[in-house]
Homo-oligomer: A and B are copies of this chain.
Amino acid sequence: MASWESYLEEKEKDHLEELLELLRIPSISALPEHEKDVRKAARWTKERLEKAGLEKVAILETGGHPVVYGEWLHQEGKPTVLIYGHFDVQPVDPLHLWTHPPFDPKVEDGRIYARGASDNKGNFVLAIMAVEALLKSEGSLPVNVKFLIEGQEEIGSPELPSFLQKHKDLFKADLGLSTDGSNLGEDTPSLVVGARGLCALQVDVLGAKSDLHSGLYGGTIRNPLQALVEILAALSRDGKIQVEGFFDKVRMPSDEERALYRKVPHDDDAYARELGVPEVAGEPGFTTLERAWIRPTLELNGIWGGFHGEGIKTVLPESAHAKISCRLVPDQDPDEILQLLKKAILEKAPSGVRVEVTEFPGRARPYLISLDHPALKAARRVLEEVYGQPAYITRTGGTVPVLELFREVLGIDTVTVAFGTDDERFHAPDEFFRVKNFKRGRIGYGRFLQEMGKA
């Protein structure tokens, strides 16, 4: 029987074609009009797991976008690894900034361009392919595996907590393996030990019952846009969040941990240049990576109200709106932060307008895994092997709600091993994934399962 590595080599072209097929499905979980596409991606995933040789493969209902399950549990005495990923993707606007249509994937200069290419379709399918290679070549796996591939990660996985609680026994495992992450560079592996939490809300400031003439009415009533900017400006000043109690539960990392993070190469000027900003900016007293990893944020994701067409419209608008999200660090609690924010917003609201605050579902707690965890050590060995250099220890400023959820509901730690790269434009126009790491990843996931089988 051929080795699992040569199986993967042989199937390389087919596997890439399969990924492109999945990338053609516009499974945007945030937009109701794409609900069927999310389900289509679930069916694709189900069929792919079946084809790989997984058992009891099923699409499970959550009340919202579904979860796809599959298992292989014939390695008694060995640990069970729960492999996590998501087949839903972010919205694509502003569409005009894409140079490739987001759901018509193109492979060009070693890059696969499409929404979801790196976050997370391109990563989770690699784990399925690795499992397939091991099963087809060796007839068994080095450990037991379960798959939980979900369809609502990009909206904060609102139904996942109750779903997981309900199916606690089905998903029982010894370790989580999340494929939802990325590495420092194309050839520079890194291991993420922490992720920020998330909570989000919308502020609606309501003024007159219709838009008014800014000349006849201007100066006589509160302009909702003016009220909104005054509220928002009061929440953060000079990069420092001003919400009372916001920092109370923020835990600073140990000096040792902070020193590890400081090893991670970073050049503020190059970073600013690459993003196209004049300079980095943010909370005083922290490095740029620290601001992204160990400090919380209050971010305005969108503001709208009044006229935004060409030219002037001298209107006093009826309403003004903002979407705000916060990234949280240990030990901040998303529900508590939402309450503090809501209180601050309502307290800052000026007279003459009505202010409404709507909390979005899909909040996530921040996550941190110990540097001494055996799975983390195994992951370090594997990454060094496939990349040819040791992995940096990092955190991500992003949110992987499932990490804290697995800990809370299943009582397990989760290690994140992924083969995307930080610069691959997740959530933004022209997202891509590197073909080179598509190849590395299939080997990497197989080797990780082998390492876990040695324990």
A residues neighboring B (CB under 8 Å): 30-32, 90-91, 93-94, 97, 155-156, 196, 198, 200, 207-223, 225-226, 228-230, 232-234, 236-239, 271-272, 275-283, 288-289, 291-292, 295-297, 299-317, 320-321, 323, 325, 327, 350-354, 360, 362, 396-399, 422, 425-430
Closest 4 CB pairs of A and B: A215-B398, A281-B352, A209-B276, A233-B233
Give the residue name and chain of the B residue nearest to A209 (CB). B276
Task: Give the CA-CA distance A398 to B220 in the complex, in Å.
Answer: 13
- Asked if A351 contacts B222 (CB within 8 A), the reply is no
Residues in B neighbouring A352, C-beta threshold 8 A: 277-281
Contacts known (A230-B233, A320-B303); A277 close to B211, Cβ less than 8 A: no
Which of B155, B217, B350 is in CB contact (< 8 Å) with A238? B350
Contacts known (A233-B230, A352-B281); A323 close to B310, Cβ less than 8 A: no
Residues in B neighbouring A325, C-beta threshold 8 A: 214, 312, 314
14 new A-B contacts, CB < 8 A, other than A222-B277, A301-B307, A312-B325, are A30-B313, A94-B211, A97-B210, A214-B297, A215-B327, A217-B397, A218-B292, A219-B297, A225-B300, A233-B234, A278-B351, A278-B353, A281-B351, A301-B315
- Asked if B312 contacts A280 (CB within 8 A), the reply is no
Contacts known (A214-B325, A229-B232, A327-B214); A282 close to B221, Cβ less than 8 A: yes
- Asked if A297 contacts B218 (CB within 8 A), the reply is yes
- Asked if B222 contacts A233 (CB within 8 A), the reply is no
- Asked if B292 contacts A219 (CB within 8 A), the reply is yes
Nearest-CB distance from A142 to chain B (Å)? 33
Give the residue name and chain of the B residue nearest to A308 (CB). B304
Task: Give the CA-CA distance A211 to B91 in the complex, in Å.
Answer: 12
- Asked if B398 contacts A216 (CB within 8 A), the reply is yes
- Asked if A300 contacts B226 (CB within 8 A), the reply is yes
- Asked if A213 contacts B428 (CB within 8 A), the reply is yes
Task: Give the CA-CA distance A397 to B283 in the complex, in Å.
Answer: 43
Task: Give the CA-CA distance A93 to B289 in the complex, in Å.
Answer: 44
Task: Give the CA-CA distance A309 to B92 in the complex, in Å.
Answer: 11
Which of B212, B396, B397 is in CB contact (< 8 Å) with A427? B212
Residues in B neighbouring A323, C-beta threshold 8 A: 306-308, 312-313
- Asked if B310 contacts A30 (CB within 8 A), the reply is yes
Nearest-CB distance from A337 to chain B (Å)? 14
Task: Give the CA-CA distance A34 to B230 in the complex, in Å.
Answer: 36
Nearest-CB distance from A315 to chain B (Å)? 5
Which of B156, B277, B303, B309 is in CB contact (< 8 Å) with A312? B156
Task: Give the CA-CA distance A108 to B279 in the complex, in Å.
Answer: 60
Task: Give the CA-CA distance A266 to B276 in the complex, in Å.
Answer: 53
Task: Give the CA-CA distance A221 to B288 in the complex, in Å.
Answer: 8
Residues in B neighbouring A213, C-beta threshold 8 A: 398, 426-428
Task: Give the CA-CA distance A149 to B322 in the complex, in Å.
Answer: 42
Nearest-CB distance from A351 to chain B (Å)? 6
Give the residue name and chain of the B residue nearest to A398 (CB). B215
- Asked if B215 contacts A198 (CB within 8 A), the reply is yes
Residues in B neighbouring A422, C-beta threshold 8 A: 216
Give the residue name and chain of the B residue nearest to A422 (CB). B216
Nearest-CB distance from A119 to chain B (Å)? 8
Residues in B neighbouring A291, C-beta threshold 8 A: 219-220
Nearest-CB distance from A61 to chain B (Å)? 20
Give the residue name and chain of the B residue nearest to A306 (CB). B302
- Asked if A428 contacts B30 (CB within 8 A), the reply is no
Nearest-CB distance from A96 to chain B (Å)? 11
Nearest-CB distance from A26 to chain B (Å)? 15
Residues in B neighbouring A212, C-beta threshold 8 A: 275, 427-428
- Asked if A303 contacts B351 (CB within 8 A), the reply is no
- Asked if B317 contacts A301 (CB within 8 A), the reply is yes
Residues in B neighbouring A277, C-beta threshold 8 A: 207-208, 221-222, 352-353
Task: Give the CA-CA distance A315 to B428 in the complex, in Å.
Answer: 8
Nearest-CB distance from A455 to chain B (Å)? 31
- Asked if A218 contacts B313 (CB within 8 A), the reply is no
Residues in B neighbouring A275, C-beta threshold 8 A: 208-209, 212, 217, 221
Task: Give the CA-CA distance A232 to B300 in the complex, in Å.
Answer: 15
Residues in B neighbouring A295, C-beta threshold 8 A: 219
